[in-house]
């Protein structure tokens, strides 16, 4: 996993959270302040998800192992 | 070359080649050693025929510590000892069962140390459809089935939006290229981690199993694609081997198998959480399409806005109701206050000097407005204002008389 993804939530997590937020907004009797906070969180997830989706270049790494254990190394994109 | 063996002990006379002519000659010729005659016989046997296909029933299969295997092929009337070297055995999908009908390809030879006539087998095939491969496949499938490894409830769901896709396949060959192309087209934000493995030939199964376990140890993928492009049954065999099946079954990361073309079902396919017919199809199964997610996101967006609006509307209605309540309360207070005020005003009026004026009293002030309460304040000729109930009378002081003065 890349360092960016380790910092923020993954696309999967964001979409799950969105589902949860929308469900709460639609079903629960929230006060306006809480509803607004949820709405803002939802919008920020949509923005970050869109940012993730804007990546256009596939990144490929190679998983190998030596005596110390598994390690990753970058694999240059080959276009045969 | 076969005859060179004679040179080892005695050069035969040229005329003696072929068959000895007379008994008397044998006295002069030194006998062959046993080793010599076996070598001679072996030479004859090995040069007599090209490799032969021999059909028969396998019996007494034994593996020596060296890995070489010994067995007997027999039919109703005869039998022949067979040897199969370790490197050839390693290519078999399985060791044949006792009594199994097979076809063996081998050369005739002689095991010199024992003088045993034998068939040196290079390869073995089971008789019937699919032969030994089919039998081996069915055996392993049945075993795994009994253990519950193939059970539907063991299948794990594939995450819908994997951040990282792991790939186990050959570093050469079309499979990797196909997978990367599909992932790049559908979901280029996905991280791809590739662990190379040989996918055919000796050691392939071990390589594949090791790569799958490596992903588990490194914990770097949300889903694994394990596979290769199409090929012959023999080419795909690694994916029918038990160690690959076990590695897939033990993988904590869900596995999509992608072996060959659609027609070939392998054990790996049966154990995997999802079976894809080709490497490209596996990649499609692993990641969602960009447009699908964008659609999903905009749907969430719309529902978020609607959800908030609904909450806001509810709140506004509540607020309006509260305003109405407050207004009503205020009205009531106002009316009450007014009544109170009127009562107070009545009381006040009773006490007011104006009331005194109405009763006929008046108030005299000087021009500056000071109330003149004593005759001493009045100057004869000064102008004073007499305030009566309905106005002011301006007067001039004529004279003053003090009550004290009178007394």
Nearest to B300 by CA among A31, A10, A20, A37: A20
Distance in Å, alpha carbon of B283 to nearest chain A alpha carbon: 13
Report which DSSP code applies to B114.
T
ipTM surpasses 0.90? no
Q: Do B180 and A10 touch (CB under 8 A)?
A: no
Alpha-carbon distance values, B321 to A11, A35, B331 (Å)? 42, 20, 15
**C-beta atoms surrounding B166 within 10 Å:** 29
Interface of B with A (CB under 8 A): 159-164, 166, 177, 180, 183-184, 188-196, 211, 214-215, 217-218, 220, 222, 290, 293-294, 296-297, 300-301, 303-308, 310-312, 314-315
- Those of residues 39-68 in A touching chain B at CB distance below 8 A are 39, 42-43, 46, 49-50, 52-65
Please indicate whether, in this complex, the C-beta atoms of B217 and A30 are within 8 angstroms of each other: no
> What pLDDT, on the 0 to 100 scale, is given for residue B263?
67
Q: Shortest Cα distance from A43 to chain B (angstroms)?
A: 7
All structural domains of chain B with their residue ranges:
4-127, 149-288, 290-349, 356-406
Burial class (CB in 10 A: 0-12, 13-18, 19+), B308: buried
CA–CA dist A42, B255 (Å, integer): 32
Percent of chain B at pLDDT above 90?
A: 46
Query: pLDDT tens across A17-74, in order?
Result: 888 888 888 887 777 788 888 888 888 888 888 888 888 888 899 998 888 888 898 8
Give the model's confidence band at B280: pLDDT under 50 very low, under 70 low, under 90 confident, else very high. Answer: very high
CATH of domain B149-288: 3.40.50.261
Is residue A79 pLDDT above 90, yes or no?
Answer: no
Element (H, E) at B147: helix B131-147
pLDDT of B64 reads 93
Domain B4-127 superfamily per CATH: Nucleic acid-binding proteins (2.40.50.140)
CA–CA dist B248, B210 (Å, integer)? 10
Contact B194 A30 (CB under 8 A): no
Residue B152 has pLDDT above 70, yes or no: yes
Distance between CA atoms of residues A51 and A7, nearest Å: 15
In the prediction, which pLDDT does A5 show? Answer: 44
Distance separating alpha carbons of residues B94 and B146, to the nearest angstrom: 19
Which chain B residue's Cα is nearest to A58?
B188
pLDDT by residue (tens digit) across B57-104?
Answer: 999 999 999 999 999 999 989 999 999 999 999 888 888 888 888 999
pLDDT of the residue at B164: 94
Would you say the CATH fold of B149-288 matches that of B4-127?
A: no
The residue count of chain A comes to 80
Confidence band of B331 (pLDDT split at 50, 70, 90): confident
- For tokens 């490194």, the residue is B218
Locate the chain A residue with the closest alpha carbon to B214: A70
Contacts of A58 in chain B (CB under 8 A): 180, 183-184, 188, 190, 192
Average pLDDT, chain B: 86
Alpha helices in A28-58 (DSSP H): 32-53
In this complex, which of B193, B290, B306 lies closest to A53 when CB atoms are compared?
B290
Provide the pLDDT for residue B211. Answer: 95
Q: Write out B183-218 in H/E/C secondary structure.
A: HHHHCCCCEEEEEECCCCCCCHHHHHHHHHHHHHHH
């Amino acid at each position: 996993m890349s360092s960016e993804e380790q910092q923020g939530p993954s696309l999967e997590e964001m979409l799950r959270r969105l589902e949860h937020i929308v469900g709460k907004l639609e079903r629960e009797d929230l006060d306006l302040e809480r509803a607004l906070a949820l709405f803002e969180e939802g919008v920020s997830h949509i923005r970050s998800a869109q940012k993730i989706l804007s990546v256009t270049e596939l990144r490929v790494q190679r998983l190998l192992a030596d005596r110390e254990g598994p390690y990753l190394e970058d694999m240059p994109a080959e276009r045969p | 070359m076969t005859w060179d063996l004679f040179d080892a002990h005695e050069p035969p006379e040229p005329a003696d080649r072929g068959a000895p002519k007379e008994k008397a000659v044998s006295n002069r010729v030194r006998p062959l050693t046993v080793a010599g005659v076996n070598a001679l016989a072996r030479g004859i046997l090995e040069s007599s025929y090209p490799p032969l296909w021999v059909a028969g029933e396998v019996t007494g299969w034994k593996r020596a510590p060296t890995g070489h295997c010994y067995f007997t092929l027999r039919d109703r009337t005869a039998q022949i000892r067979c040897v199969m070297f370790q490197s050839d055995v390693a290519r078999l999908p399985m060791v044949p069962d006792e009594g199994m009908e097979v076809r063996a390809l081998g050369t005739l030879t002689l095991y010199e140390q024992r003088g045993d006539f034998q068939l040196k087998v290079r390869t073995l095939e089971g008789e019937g459809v699919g032969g030994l491969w089919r039998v081996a496949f069915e055996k392993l499938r049945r075993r795994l089935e009994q253990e519950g490894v193939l059970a539907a409830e063991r299948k794990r769901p594939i995450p819908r939006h994997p951040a990282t896709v792991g790939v186990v396949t050959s570093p050469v060959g079309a499979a990797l290229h196909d997978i990367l192309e599909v992932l790049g087209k559908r979901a280029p934000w996905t991280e791809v981690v590739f662990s190379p493995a040989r996918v055919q030939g000796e050691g392939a199964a071990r390589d594949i199993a090791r790569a799958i376990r490596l992903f588990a140890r490194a914990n770097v993928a949300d889903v694994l694609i394990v596979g290769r492009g199409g090929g012959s049954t023999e080419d795909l065999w690694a994916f029918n081997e038990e160690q690959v099946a076990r590695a897939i079954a033990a993988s904590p990361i869900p596995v999509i198998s992608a072996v060959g073309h659609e027609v070939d079902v392998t054990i790996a396919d049966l154990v995997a959480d999802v079976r894809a017919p080709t490497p490209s199809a596996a990649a499609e199964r692993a990641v969602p399409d960009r447009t699908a997610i964008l659609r999903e996101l905009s749907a969430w967006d719309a529902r978020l806005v609607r959800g908030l609006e609904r909450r806001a509307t509810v709140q506004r209605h509540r607020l309006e109701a509260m305003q109405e309540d407050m207004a009503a309360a205020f009205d009531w207070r106002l009316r009450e206050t007014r009544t109170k005020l009127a009562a107070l005003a009545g009381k006040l009026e009773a006490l007011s000097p104006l009331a005194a004026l109405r009763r006929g009293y008046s108030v005299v002030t000087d021009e500056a407005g000071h109330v003149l309460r004593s005759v001493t304040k009045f100057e004869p000729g000064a102008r004073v204002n007499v305030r009566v109930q309905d106005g002011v009378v301006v007067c001039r002081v004529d004279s003053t008389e003090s009550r004290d003065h009178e007394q």
